[in-house]
Chains A and B, each alone.
Chain A
Amino acid sequence: MFEYAPAPESRSVVDLKPSYGLFIDGTFVDPTDGGSFKSINPASEEVLAEVAEAGAQDVERAVRAARKAYDKVWGPMPGRDRAKYLYRIARLIQERSRELAVLESLDNGKPIRESRDVDLPLVAAHFFYYAGWADKLEHAGFGQRPASQHGGAIPQPLGVAAQVIPWNFPLLMLAWKIAPALAAGNTVVLKPAETTPLTALLFAEICQQADLPAGVVNILTGAGDTGRALVEHPGVDKVAFTGSTDVGRAIARSVAGTSKKLTLELGGKAANIVFDDAPIDQAVEGIVNGIFFNQGHVCCAGSRLLVQENVADRVLESLKRRMAQLRVGDPLDKNTDVGAINSAAQLERIRELSDAGSAEGAERWSPPCDLPDRGFWFAPTIFTGVTQAHRIAREEIFGPVLSVLTFRTPAEAVEKANNTPYGLSAGIWTDKGSRILWMADRLRAGVVWANTFNKFDPTSPFGGYKESGYGREGGRHGLEGYLNV
């Protein structure tokens, strides 16, 4: 047997302070009412740092700082100068990528292999990409505006953006929100998720290091109440939210009737569709990557496998063999494939839905795998014999749980894939180019991957149909949500 010895990434690159304040107007400040909460390492339940909880008065301070920066500095600043700051931030992220990756894995529970090889390169790429747009907004396809106080015939920013992001890709979601907002000339107040605030605070330090003018980026840590106070603040011109469909719906209600512009990126229940002529070995990799990447904490995860019935046995056999190779454990070990579930609450939800899957008659399978005693863990799991009526085929589990369904004809695959209130992503596996195009035309999903899955690029727009949200992030399209067009 060939056992891999532990290969832990060093924690010493991260210099964590025992406690963090709020980042408002370019400095870290204590919260007005002194509230705080702890951020823990989900792999060990060890407390990493104490973090301030922003209240209504802190939101007020942050929005005012962002408004001032927008009016006085960032708004009037020529695009090429904004670009200079964004490029600087992008380079600092690259320089400090090891530190950010380790901290991301500590706070989130995702394997270092993913934070190092996927999250951080994409974060830097997003800042580089949108830095390039900052002085070219008139070429983004949203028309030109008359000259104004903001200097020239270019599309105008919106003002102050309130941004609320989830815990599954803390720094990447921050980049998706902040980079286009700043490139377009807005200032931001961002609230990271309460279970993963730390990399956003390190990003605040990077903003200081980059000499970003005070108030352009403000980071408020806190939970749901802080987020609500932020998106409902009347001084905000734009709300951008990534998270659950329930919270998204509440935000849409609260924003209704105001002049705030809103983009939502919500849940998903993506179909990963494997045809009988698919390259099987690569399809199996794509299935694994689709649902076990980031412990399945991915809104566009391929959580429903639709496999053509005449190859179903073969695909499942290969999939199980491959799943037995997944290494579950210490997120900081460089050989870990599946890390910790982000929180006790999320683990509880995954367990509840998985139990419902068994109770409703689906057959559950996991490879043998030893889970650590402390921390939050869930073994990679597949359910076979799942029907469209099962809860595990309809509700977003947001964990390493795959529901397997079969289909007979391409039309049936389309029908089943689209039979969900969500519409964020889909995958197609076939050797036939014409079938890929035929399917892509019919799938009601914002992203359709062909013979690959979970591929992201800053140049490519991302967003949903139906209850997966509206607006697009990434690419030229991602600028629209931050411009007055």
Chain B
Amino acid sequence: MTATTTSARSELSELGRSETALRTFLHGLPGVDQVGAEQRAAQLGTRSIKTTAKAQAIDLAIRMVDLTTLEGADTPGKVRALAAKALRPDPADPSCPHVGAVCVYPAMVPHVAEVLRGSGVHLASVATAFPSGQAPLEIKLADTRAAVAAGADEIDMVINRGAFLAGRYKEVYDEIVATKEASGDAHLKVILETGELATYDNVRRASWLAMLAGGDFIKTSTGKVPIAATMPVSLVMLEAVRDFREATGRQVGVKPAGGIKTTKDAIKYLVMVNETVGPDWLDPDWFRFGASSLLNDLLMQRTKLTTGTYSGPDYFTLD
């Protein structure tokens, strides 16, 4: 790290001490032109990824999947099956890589931990009164500590959108800092719930806020509101992590979640990562897909590429 980024980093770490400093900084970020951002995202979506490039992209996308189930109806048996699938996504093909992580509610963490132990597949737990975040701070922190204690090595927290939209940036910041502390060694993914932030300017500000407060990853959505991950929102977030690393030397990961269902979609995202932040982020440590049905489509396309024939959905497990 150069001397300038070190000093920039310490200057930026001061920002969280005052509401005014945070506001001045966040509102001083360059704006996002909605039309231009959407146009750029659409343009990146027109890349044509074929043959060897497609095979490479599919395997990378599989390794980046946070295989997720976040339902009231989840049971130990169901999440164990999901964890088994995470380890061996395609039982018919041992060359198929495992996914990046399994993502579940805190209560399900112990059951998943049994299956994943020692496998290299990470165990993510949502926490902080997911998905609304509408609980007292102590409860959110207890939620986080419980998930970590049960074996989660990644925590997906939600920000306080009410406070963010009302301009109480310090409150949001302090909550992230506290959750980071409660997470201990676990990686902290900060869910911005961009569908509720409404503007790209807000997405950029929330991204910076989350990074300044110590988030290891910024994540688009809970998947529980009507608008989940979109290409333009993810583009703005990628630009934010790129600029943040330039300013501070610290790299932060990005996780679009919700609504990414097809191989075609996943490849569009990988192209966007490649051309916006570059190969440094093309790694499961720095980019993840929060998804459930995406995995089966990736497997189907993978089988099509390796065998030349397209097998129906019945040949892939539903978990």
Using a CB–CB cutoff of 8 Å, the interface residues on chain A facing chain B are 1-7, 113, 117, 277-283, 285-286, 325, 334-335, 431, 451-452
B319 in the interface (beta carbon within 8 A): no
Q: Is the CB of B36 within 8 A of A3?
A: no
| Set B30, B40, B279: member contacting A285, Cβ < 8 A | B40
| B117 interface hit (Cβ, 8 Å) | no
A452 touches B47 (CB 8 A): no
Contact, CB under 8 Å: A279 / B36: yes
The A-contacting residues of B in range 56-103, CB under 8 angstroms, are 56-57, 60
**29 A-B pairs (CB sep. < 8 Å):** A2-B56, A2-B57, A2-B271, A2-B279, A3-B53, A3-B56, A4-B48, A4-B53, A5-B50, A5-B51, A5-B52, A5-B53, A5-B54, A6-B50, A7-B48, A117-B46, A279-B30, A279-B33, A281-B30, A281-B37, A281-B239, A282-B36, A282-B40, A283-B36, A286-B36, A334-B47, A335-B48, A451-B35, A451-B36
- B49 lies within 8 A of A4 (CB): yes
Which residues on the A side are within 8 Å of B36 (C-beta)?
A: 279, 281-283, 285-286, 451-452
1/0 per residue, CB under 8 A from A, across B26-44: the answer is 0000111101110110000
In the bound assembly, the distance between CA atoms of A281 and B47 in angstroms comes to: 20
Q: Does B176 contact A (CB under 8 A)?
A: no
Q: Whole-angstrom distance from the CB of A127 to the nearest CB of chain B?
A: 24
A5 vs B53: C-alpha distance in the bound complex, in angstroms? 5
Complex CA distance for A1 and B57, rounded to whole angstroms: 10
Return the chain A residue nearest B42 by Cβ. Answer: A117
Distance A325 CA – B31 CA, assembled complex (angstroms): 23
Provided the pairs A2-B57, A2-B282, A285-B39 are in contact, do residues A277 and B48 lie with their beta carbons within 8 angstroms? Answer: no
A280 to B279, alpha carbons, bound, how many Å? 22
B11 interface contact, C-beta 8 A: no
The CA of A404 and the CA of B54, in the complex, are separated in Å by 38
Contact B282–A281 (Cβ < 8 Å): no
CB nearest neighbor in A for B53: A5
Bound CA span A2–B282, Å: 8
**Complex: A278 Cα to B36 Cα, angstroms:** 12
Collect the chain B residues with CB atoms within 8 Å of residue A431's CB. Answer: 31
Known contacts A113-B46, A285-B36; is A2 also within 8 Å of B53 by CB?
yes
B52 → chain A, closest Cβ, in Å? 5
User: How far, in Å, is B245 (CB) from chain A's closest CB?
Assistant: 13
B residues at A contact (CB < 8 Å) = 30-33, 35-37, 39-40, 46-54, 56-57, 60, 239, 270-271, 274-275, 279, 282
Closest beta carbon of chain A to B6's beta carbon, Å: 20
Give Cα distance in the complex from A1 to B48, angstroms. Answer: 17
Contacts of B274 in A (CB 8 A): 2
Q: Tell me whether B33 and A282 are in contact (CB under 8 A).
A: yes
For residue B53, which residues in chain A have a CB less than 8 angstroms away from its CB?
2-5
| Cα(A6)–Cα(B47), bound, Å | 11
Choice from B30, B49, B57, B271 contacting A278 with Cβ under 8 Å: B30
Q: Across the two chains, which residue of chain A brings its CB closest to B275?
A: A325
Minimum CB–CB distance for B277 against chain A, Å: 10
A residues less than 8 Å from B46 (CB atoms) = 113, 117, 334
**What distance in Å separates the Cβ of B82 from its nearest Cβ neighbour in chain A?**
28
Q: Distance (Å) between the CB of A335 and the closest chain B CB?
A: 5
Cross-chain contact B33 with A2 (CB below 8 angstroms): no
State whether A7 touches B33 (Cβ < 8 A): no
Residue picked from B30, B35, B46, B271, most chain A C-beta under 10 Å: B30
CB neighbours of B60 from chain A (8 A): 2
- Chain A residues positioned under 8 Å from B52 (CB to CB): 3, 5
Supply 15 further A-B pairs (C-beta < 8 A) apart from A2-B270, A5-B54, A281-B30. A1-B279, A2-B60, A2-B282, A5-B51, A5-B53, A7-B49, A279-B30, A281-B32, A281-B36, A282-B33, A282-B35, A283-B36, A285-B36, A285-B40, A452-B35
Q: Which residues of B contact A2 (CB under 8 A)?
A: 53, 56-57, 60, 270-271, 274, 279, 282
List A contacts of B271 (CB < 8 A). 2
In whole angstroms, what is the CA distance A113 to B48 when docked? Answer: 10
B32 partner, pick from A6, A282, A286, A452, beta carbons under 8 A: A282
Q: Find out whether the CB atom of A279 lies under 8 angstroms from the CB atom of B31.
A: yes
Q: A277–B33 Cα gap in the complex (Å)?
A: 11
The contact of A7 among B35, B39, B50, B56, by CB within 8 Å, is B50
Known A2-B56, A281-B32; contact A334-B48, beta-carbon cutoff 8 A? yes
Complex CA distance for A280 and B204, rounded to whole angstroms: 13
Nearest chain A CB to B301 CB, angstrom units: 15
B residues in contact with A335, CB < 8 Å = 47-48
Query: Across the interface, do A4 and B37 meet the contact criterion of CB distance under 8 Å?
Result: no
- A334 and B45 alpha carbons, distance in the complex (Å): 12
Chain B residues near A117 (CB-CB < 8 A): 46
User: In the bound complex, what is the Cα–Cα distance between A3 and B60 (angstroms)?
Assistant: 13
Contact A4 B47 (CB under 8 A): yes
**C-alpha spacing A3/B49, complex, angstroms:** 9
Residue among A2, A280, A431, A452 with the most chain B CB within 10 A?
A: A2
CB within 8 Å for A279 and B39 given contacts A5-B52, A117-B46, A335-B47 = no
Whole-angstrom CA separation of A451 from B37 in the bound complex: 11
Q: Which of A3, A4, A5, A451 contacts B33 (CB 8 A)?
A: A451
Bound CA span A455–B40, Å:
14
Closest Cβ–Cβ distance, residue A481 to chain B (whole Å): 31
User: Closest chain A residue to B39 by CB distance?
Assistant: A285
**Cβ-closest chain B residue relative to A285:** B40
Residues of chain B within 8 A (CB-CB) of A325 are 275
* A277 lies within 8 A of B31 (CB): yes
Cβ–Cβ < 8 Å partners of B56 in chain A: 2-3
Q: Which 8 A-B pairs have the closest CB atoms?
A: A282-B36, A7-B48, A334-B48, A282-B33, A5-B53, A279-B33, A280-B30, A5-B51
From residue B85, how far is it (CB to closest CB) to chain A in Å? Answer: 26
Which residues of A have CB within 8 Å of B35?
282, 451-452
> How distant is the Cα of A279 from the Cα of B271 in the complex, in angstroms?
22
Q: Give chain B nearest CB distance to A454 CB in angstroms.
A: 11
